[in-house]
Amino acid sequence: MAETIKKYLNDSFVARWCALILIALAMFFAYMFVDVMSPLQSLVESSRGWDSSVFGTYAASEYILNVCGFLILAGIILDKMGVRFTGILSTSLMVAGAAIKYVGITDWFQATAFCEWLGSWWTALPGSAKMASLGFMIFGCGCEMAGITVSKAIAKWFEGKEMALAMGLEMAIARLGVFAVLSASPRLADKFGNIEAPILFCVILLLIGLINFIVFSVMDAKLDSQKGIVAGGDSEEEFKVSDLKKIFRSKMFWIVALLCVLYYSAIFPFQRYATNFLESTLNIGTTEAADLFRWFPILAMVLTPFLGAFLDNKGKGATMLMLGAIIMIACHLSFAFLLPLFPQKWFALLLIVVLGVSFSLVPAALWPSVPKIIDPVILGSAYSLIFWIQNVGLCFVPLIIGNALKATGGYTVPMIIFASFGIVAFFMSLLLKVEDRKKGYGLELPNIKK
């Protein structure tokens, strides 16, 4: 008798790609909010009494609670409760944190006695910076939790299918948020004459992202029902906290985690300062500088899906990680030494776009590699631990860069710091390739099972 092949919801091309679009748009809105104030640094400093050190503290606040252990808890919640519960919780945290940050940055809050008291309490930061940082901390918890949730959701919905392509497209859509907000934020601030308008706009978009995740959760519940998976998990096997020792004992996990923190520490903190860097180096206005840097994620956005498709069909993930690190080193050294000598907008744009190539190579190869080295039962915790280690760097690097900028009065030293992260990341990628060749994890092999 012929064997009956059972079809699941994620076997439908339309269904799994609709699910991807829903969760990718939520991350698109999150990325917009992350960088909504990046092109407004000069305006914030002049209107709220901040300086580069205060701005660095604000930028670092996004990661503080995650570094203090929330991300580890988030991974356990994800593996224990599943993508639906964790996704709705994380997007709700993003909305709540964004609302607090918006209140903290308003003219209304600036005039309150509470803001004045807040500025005099604990440490010498303006009250607006403390309130904005509090909101950014809460938002950061939700954003990073959403990031690991989306990664596990894609691994679940695209297992044995176009996983790298799906992860690449999700990252591409999210990065489009950087382009969008760098285009919109200074223009909204100019149109309404304040820094509040672009932030409120992004808060509204985050609400839409929460609705998107609720719709995705309905689809995911149907998939679990078809597979006979009980509510609260995403695997037929039960997650136990003791399973975490499998992650900590994995040499490959530590290599990937260190590569991740080194690479992203040279990218995301740079985004916070890039507009101001271009303003001072090229002697141009804020909007023009933001318009230049907004092209950074575009080539990455275009290339990442193609690189994902290449990984799915041809492999070579470890090699791509090495190449991405080399490109990043060259770009930051050029920002440090060549652009100040040749302060031309076309040259700055060229470097920005080439850096975007690096930003497509590394993430496109990095995230689909994790399911190859980690048991699916603890995949959420593995992603959360990688994100946690990454957040340690993302928390302290903006502080380091802000203080280096304040001490030197220029961007040469900060760019050298970014380049040094890339150099160490290259050696980590080289070690990863060596270990993969020894142990046969398949990082150089295609993702699609034929």
Question: What is the Cα–Cα distance from 276 to 55, expressed in whole angstroms?
Answer: 11
| C-alpha angle 273-35-422 in degrees, rounded to nearest 5 | 50
Query: What would the pLDDT profile of 161-207 be if each residue is shown by its tens digit?
Result: 888 788 878 888 887 888 889 889 989 999 998 899 999 999 999 99
The CA distances from residue 309 to 19, 157, 315, 358, in Å, are 19, 16, 9, 17
End-to-end CA distance of the chain: 25
CA 227: distance to chain centroid? 31
pLDDT for residue 2 is more than 50: no
Q: Which residue has the tokens 């080289």?
A: 430
Residue 226 pLDDT: 84
Q: What is the pTM of this model?
A: 0.74
Question: What is the Cα–Cα distance from 369 to 317, expressed in whole angstroms?
Answer: 7
Residue 177's nearest CA partner among 287, 303, 356, 29 is 29
Can you tell me the mean pLDDT for 409-433? Answer: 94
Query: What would the pLDDT profile of 405-416 be if each residue is shown by its tens digit?
Result: 989 988 999 999
What is 12-439's CATH number, 1.20.1250.20, 1.10.569.10, 3.40.50.2300, 3.30.565.10?
1.20.1250.20
Find all residues with CB under 8 Å of 11, minimum gap 6, and list them.
none
Neighbouring C-beta atoms of residue 230, cutoff 10 Å: 10
Query: What would the pLDDT profile of 48-69 be if each residue is shown by its tens digit?
Result: 888 888 888 888 888 888 888 8
Rg, the chain, Cα only: 22
Residue 232 pLDDT: 54
Residue 199's nearest CA partner among 35, 433, 383 is 35
pLDDT averaged over every residue in the chain: 87
Amino acid (one-letter) located at 373: I
pLDDT for residue 393 is more than 80: yes
Domain spans of the chain, in order of start: 12-439
Residue 308's nearest CA partner among 448, 113, 419, 203 is 448
% of the chain exceeding 70 in pLDDT: 95
Residue 237 pLDDT: 52
